[in-house]
Structure 1
Amino acid sequence: MGVDIPKAQEMDKASALALRSEFIIPTKADIASTHLANQGPQSSPLFPRHDDSERCVYLCGNSLGLQPKRTPTRINQYLSTWATQGVQGHFKPLERSPLPTWLDADARAAELIAPIVGASESDVAVMQTLTANLHLLMSAFYHPDVKSKHKIILENKAFPSDHFVVETQLRHHGLTPETSMVLIEAPSNQDNIFSTDDILSVISAHAEETALILLPGIQYYTGQLFDIQTITAFAHKHNIVVIWDLAHAVGNVPLSLHDWEVDAAAWCSYKYLNGGPGCIGGMFVHENISLVTREITDEKPEEGYRNRLAGWWGNDKKTRFRMANKFHPVSGAAGFQLSNPSILDITSLGASLEVFKEAGGMQPLREKSLQLTGYLEKELNEMSAPDRELFRIITPSDPEQRGAQLSILLAEGTLEIVMRELESRHVIVDERRPDVIRVAPTPLYNTFEDCATFVAAFSAALAAVRA
């Protein structure tokens, strides 16, 4: 018996969270086309409205989020400000404009992102990109002592950038990965799922020599959600700093970084935050370690704050434009900023953060996410026996240990056929070679019908494998 799509449609009608209309869902014709479309906002004559039946099934928000309809409007407002005000746009508020001055754009973005990560506004900064921010945090918090604490712990299948950050930071300090990098190995290398105890046992074994831990909030390959609070608290008992890579967690699951006393974290904004490809990243630094505790003096300018790689935009706003060569950082995460941020990027991100605010925060999104992912898992598990022989879900079945993603391990050598068949049916997911597809029903814009349509297309793809 196949998946019941009419039932899924009825479930969508009963769903309390309905923000799909805030996003531009590509049509089937769009994703099949090889030409640049002449499109504007979806409500414009250049971009006519479409019924859901004409739209593709997009389950790839874990890789790149869809465009909010208000994004082109906000970007055009930014361009209009630049065109008509020039440099005055930095300081001059404009009536009827929903945008802040460029001087205050980063502060407005921090205000909007803070509730999403469970922080105060001063704990966060919208700046740079994910990997750049990880390097900046490492420069501030990794101070190895070769004779004692010098090791960095990370998991063995961390996203490549995290490996590169750790390896190059070690070499920067005259150390080597062979002597100073500790990899947490999963009991099953194929599934790469860790228990919290697996992680804590490695920390215990290397605690005396470990200076820093870098872990993902959600593991990109499996979709596993780590116990951030427990791991952080355990590391602190051993006097170890933990930096969290939240690329796949921010905008996906509720976070309470301040209350969990997380030291520091970094993230990107183009996945669940829908900022756009390569959009500006973000950083969290807990107020306990980011405060500027005293006035900076000419005699001892480095006193009163934790040292970091610095730039003029991290300087106190009151003195930033005096052009004095004395660094006096803003208290909080904003004091880790370098250059003035891209206003184009912040404007694009801000459009999506407005939608998050209208959604009522992360809790209702999490509730809808659990429903969608639970429904998807159920339908996959109820597929026919011949289908089930060709795949299995490697994401933890416990809803509390995952976000809005199910990773499906396919039978060896079937990935290309499955991806080709899904794409021919206008279903967009992503692949992680050699044998995994990642399916992410994003609660802001995905539906039960999307999940049901994926299962039907996936079954057809598996039939093609067997043919």
Structure 2
Amino acid sequence: MTFENTREFAQDLDNKDVLRQYQDEFIFPKVNDKKVIYFTGNSLGLQPKRAKSYVDEILNDWANLAVEGHFYAQKPWWDYHERFANPLSSIVGALPSEVTVMNTLTVNLHLLMVSFYQPTATQYKIICEEKAFPSDQYMFQSQVHFHGYQPEDAIVEIKRREGEHNLRLEDILAKIAQVGDALALVLIGGVNYYTGQVFDMKAITQAGHQVGAKVGWDLAHAAGNVKLHLHDWNVDFAAWCSYKYMNSGPGNASGCFIHEQHHNNPNLPRFAGWWGHNKERRFKMEPNFDPIHGADGWQISNLPVLSLAPYLASVTLFEEIGMDALILKRDKITAYLEFILHEIDQEVNGNFEIITPANPSERACQLSVFLHGEGRSLFDYLMKNGVITDWREPNVIRLAPVPMYCSFEDMYEFGQILKAGILAK
């Protein structure tokens, strides 16, 4: 498609957008009494309007039923999480028995490493990407220390080539082959939070397995954003937060995937708790742990249903729309934003550098833009003029045109505000 940098063209794209009505499903903040252009769904998704009714339902059941709400609420609390199995399995490409919700993201990655990082004297190394999200870096360091190793020896970071912003697949595969028999675990972010690069999860998983390692994925920036096939790719485990592209609310519950090949392995260690115990016998308070078959057997504590309620509200939107329709719009609106950035760059004789891969198969719903010659003042100008975006040092702005609630006219309007901010210096 040939794009145009005009409001009329953007409005025409919106008129043809089959998802345009879903913008009305969300609550937008306002700046200067005007709805914002919201580019930070990669940090915190907007609130779905239907979330409130889901939370109110639990509050009402708590008020009217108290403890009996566990079994007699409209959506009984003791099995509330089971309502996520089908929609989440569709979103991440899994069997319903392979997904569950519990805890928060880094907590779940730690718990999954209990099962899938089992170092020995000769096989103890972990491969991750350079500039992984800091929480993952801290997690790796503490895990290897716990097992008696030094991070500089046990953690292998895959580096970017000099002068390049993104990792090359061939370098990742080569590093896996090089570490070889010493490699215990590959654990990478499916989408790099800083650049927005999407990794070839299928190829990397296969390469890790070929040298005898387990392979897991941090899908914080991938779940609800990227077409995933975790079961078919034979991923060992994965976890994701729900508050970015999945719009569940700040700091909300995490989703987990554990491949079915591991469900019947009695020798696989895990940290146990009563909510992972045999559901039919849970309230008999038996002394010996009998895990539920499937991912639910990794649960530990009674689930916070007030937190799960807005997450459940959000996944109903994903069920209605489907990942295929979201990805079609994602690719189109991201391409249009890319076009707008190039157009404005030419008009102001700027020096923008989009560090997210240009290849659509290597990116999703994020463009990270290096604003050479610009500073924090431009970001501040955008924020004051109703563009909610994200600043990363030294001078990168991350733009996430979420297809569920961003419009093509938003992309055009952003370009005009960006241009005005540069010319106002």
Tell me which interval the TM-score lies in, with the shorter structure as reference length: over 0.9
Question: What's 1:326 paired with?
Answer: 288
Q: Distance in 1 between matches of 2:328 and 2:229?
A: 16
Q: Whole-Å Cα distance in 1 between the matches of residues 327 and 48 of structure 2?
A: 19
Aligned equivalent of 2:313: 351
Give distance in 2, aligned partners of 1:461 and 1:204. Answer: 48
Paired with 2:162 and 2:243, the residues of 1 have a C-alpha distance of 30
Contact 1:415/1:436, CA 8 A, preserved across alignment: no
Which of 121, 130, 152 aligns to 1:156? It is 130
Q: Deviations over 1:383-440 (max 9, x none)?
A: 243635332100000111001000001125x331111110121111111112110000
Question: What's the counterpart of residue 256 of structure 1?
Answer: 229
Question: Which residue in 1 is equivalent to 2:60?
Answer: 80
Describe the SS at the equivalent of 2:27: coil
Query: Is 1:406–1:439's contact at 8 Å kept on the other side of the alignment?
Result: yes
**Which of 23, 27, 36 in structure 1 is aligned with 2:26?**
23
Task: Give the residue type in structure 2 aligned to 1:153.
Answer: I
Query: Mapping of 1:436-455 within 5 angstroms?
Result: 436-455=396-415
- Distance apart, 1:110 and its partner CA: 2.5
Whole-angstrom CA distance in 1 between matches of 2:107 and 2:54: 26
Equivalent residue for 2:89? 114
Write the mapping of 1:144-293 to structure 2, written as runs, cut at 5 A.
Answer: 144-146=119-121, 148-188=122-162, 191-291=164-264
Question: Which secondary structure state, in structure 1, belongs to the residue aligned with residue 348 of structure 2?
Answer: helix
Deviation at 1:145, TM superposition (A): 1.0
The offset of 1:111, in angstroms, is 2.6
Instruction: Work out the number of aligned pairs and report it.
Output: 421
Output the CA distance in 2 between the equivalents of 1:405 and 1:249: 11
Is the 2:187–2:217 contact (alpha carbons within 8 Å) kept by the matching residues of 1?
yes
**1:315 pairs with 270, 273, 277, which one?**
277
Q: Which residue in the other structure is 1:12 paired with?
A: 14
- 2:353 aligned residue: 392
Amino acid in structure 2 at the alignment position of 1:290 = H
Counterpart position of 1:379 = 340
In 2, the alpha carbon distance for the partners of 1:448 and 1:388 equals 24
**Unaligned runs of at least 5 residues, structure 1:** 31-53, 95-99, 293-303
Q: CA deviation at 1:282?
A: 1.0
Cα distance 1:252–1:219, how it changes in 2: closer, same or farther (>3 A)? same
Alpha-carbon contact 1:60-1:440 (below 8 Å) kept: yes
Please tell me whether the aligned partners of residues 71 and 348 of structure 1 are also in contact (alpha carbons under 8 angstroms): yes
Distance (whole Å) between structure 1 residues aligned to residue 345 and residue 246 of structure 2: 36
Alpha-carbon distance in structure 2 between the residues aligned to 1:384 and 1:216 = 31
Per-residue CA distance 1:296-318 (angstroms, 9 max, x = gap) = xxxxxxxx352201111111101
Q: Secondary structure at the match of 2:227?
A: coil
Q: CA deviation at 1:162?
A: 0.7
The whole-number CA distance in structure 1 between the counterparts of 2:81 and 2:15 is: 38
* Distance across 2 between alignment mates of 1:178 and 1:57: 43
SS in 2 for 1:252: coil
Tell me, which stretches of 5 or more residues in structure 2 are unaligned?
Answer: none
Q: Distance in 2 between matches of 1:343 and 1:417?
A: 42
Closer/same/farther in 2, CA of residues 384 and 108 from structure 1, 3 Å limit = closer
Q: CA deviation at 1:188?
A: 3.8
Deviant stretches of 4+, over 6 Å? none
State how far apart, in whole Å, the 2-side matches of 1:267 and 1:113 are.
11
Q: Do the aligned partners of 2:71 and 2:78 also contact (CA within 8 Å) in 1?
A: yes
| Partners of 1:188 and 1:388 in 2: CA distance | 27
Task: Supply the RMSD in Å over aligned alpha carbons.
Answer: 1.4
For normalisation by structure 1, the TM-score amounts to 0.88
* Identity between Structure 1 and Structure 2 (%): 43
Q: How far off is 1:93 after superposition? A: 4.4
For 1:125, the equivalent position in structure 2 comes to: 100
- 8 Å CA contact retained: 2:61, 2:73: no
Counterpart of 1:4, as a letter, is T
Pick aligned residue for 1:431 from 372, 391, 406:
391
Question: Is the 2:345–2:351 Cα contact (8 Å) retained in structure 1?
Answer: no
State how far apart, in whole Å, the 2-side matches of 1:208 and 1:260 are.
21
Q: Confirm or deny: 8 A CA contact 2:31 2:384 kept in the other structure.
A: no
Deviation at 1:221, TM superposition (A): 0.2
The corresponding residue for 1:42 is: none
Match of 1:457 in 2: 417
Partner of 1:301: none
